[in-house]
Amino acid sequence: MTATPQDKKSPVTSKQQLIDYIALGARPKEDWRIGTEHEKFVFCKDSHRPVPYEGERSIRAILEAKGREFGWDPIMEGDYIIGLKKDGQSVTLEPGGQLELSGAPLENIHQTCSEVNSHLKEAKAVSEELGIKFLGVGFNPNTKREDVPRMPKGRYKIMTEYMPKKGNLGLDMMYRTATIQVNLDYADEADMVKKFRTSLALQPIATALFANSPFTEGKPNGFMSYRSHIWTDTDPDRCGMLPFVFDEAMSYEAYVDHVLDVPMYFVYRDGKYIDASGQSFRDFIKGELPAYPGHVATMQDWEDHMSTLFPEVRLKKFLELRGADGGSWNTICALPALWVGLLYDSDALDAAWDLCRDWSIEEHDLLRAEVPRTALQGDFRNRKILDWARDILEISAHGLQRRARLNATGEDERIFLNVLFAIAEKGHSHAQDLLDLYHNQWNGDINRLFQEHAF
């Protein structure tokens, strides 16, 4: 029987099979969808500390109650409930107990925002009874790394042991960050390349607009987006700006070659994780993986391995845009609106690419390095990053206007950009607002953040 990329149990017999897997993501414009993911910190209302996995007031209690009261099916790992699923959505756990909603693929941002609202209302309904609340920022503002509870997922144990071998901040990434992400489609290989290049180049500007992580362990940390800075010292093998994406030879195959060169984390078999950290997926294809000798990789293994890369934009069977800090309720809907406006309208995509098409690799790196500290107040190419942000907001708004996806009251998707236009009008990110509050009204009391900005 010929191995196919569609069958997850098929053995991997050639590189072409891996290329075909990505190519299967291509779809006509009328079938393009929007998938939004967002993470939030879960904390005890009285202590403002992270919620443990077990106990009367716990992550497990939230998941069980949400499943029981709102009809979600449990996702189990052994005896542990580690998530929920319903109608194409899933609720999952990040390593430090950050709760994530991975949304269903939807047609427009109105549906996305309805999905987000429903999830947050359900989560609040079950958590308030437990004395638990949620906070949307990019970095845990008050808890030391060693005091963050650990979640019972096998892959996280392997990652926790491997991360310190590759960078100084990988464990902070796992246990103390939260993000908003959006997953978008492409029509074919050329469309994928253009969207990948454009979104990767402009990702730091989106990071600046969403910068929202200025505190570490109760004090200012010197950054507007500390979450973004953390990725620069996590794991150089699997993070970063991917210079090859801007090469003329960029293709499905070029990305597959990159993924094959990234060391593995694990193999998942029979409900258990086998530690293969640092080993080669190429060896796995040949049946020569030291951690699992005599066994060959399957398409499911390939899918798992692809999910362990963490660049600013990640390719699977869709493009995953990963540059934003976690944020308030309204910013969750703003991120997909920004990128849909830029990438799903052909005129907007052309205009967005024209902004950045002549940037050098060195300039990409300069912009990426500048944004975590200064956000919108930084400089790039003799302009404020704020001015670049205003440019992409205008392009996105025109793209959303031309999409003309209306809600019940006749408003198009531009309404979800209002929070970003307000940030651009002020001239600084939400991180600066929080710092101003901290130094003035709050008198240096980080507890006020939890009291005034929780969901």
Beta strand spans in 155-301 (E): 179-184, 215-216, 219-220, 239-240, 266-269, 272-275
| Distance (Å, whole) CA 183 – CA 112 | 12
Question: What topology is assigned to 32-262+309-453 in CATH?
Answer: Creatine Kinase; Chain A, domain 2 (3.30.590)
CA distances from 4 to 252, 370, 411 (A): 17, 44, 44
| Ranges of each domain in the chain | 1-25+263-308, 32-262+309-453
pLDDT digits (tens, 9 = 90+) for 405-445: 999 999 999 999 999 999 999 999 999 999 999 999 999 99
pLDDT in tens, the chain (455 residues): 345 666 899 999 999 999 999 999 999 999 999 999 999 999 999 999 999 999 999 999 999 999 999 999 999 999 999 999 999 999 999 999 999 999 999 999 999 999 999 999 999 999 999 999 999 999 999 999 999 999 999 999 999 999 999 999 999 999 999 999 999 999 999 999 999 999 999 999 999 999 999 999 999 999 999 999 999 999 999 999 999 999 999 999 999 999 999 999 999 999 999 999 999 999 999 999 999 999 999 999 999 999 999 999 999 999 999 999 999 988 999 999 999 999 999 999 999 999 999 999 999 999 999 999 999 999 999 999 999 999 999 999 999 999 999 999 999 999 999 999 999 999 999 999 999 999 999 999 999 999 999 99
pLDDT of residue 329: 87
pLDDT of residue 4: 63
Contact 135, 187 (CB under 8 A): no
Q: Rg of the Cα trace of the chain? A: 21
| Distance (Å, whole) CA 232 – CA 87 | 36
Tell which residue, 186, 185, 192, 225, has the closest CA to residue 207. Answer: 225
Model confidence, pTM: 0.97
Tell which residue, 192, 356, 156, 381, has the closest CA to residue 275. Answer: 156
Residue type, 148: V
Contact 405, 186 (CB under 8 A): no
Beta carbons within 8 Å of 404's beta carbon, 6+ residues apart: 412
Structural tokens at position 214: 């200025």
| Distance (Å, whole) CA 230 – CA 174 | 10
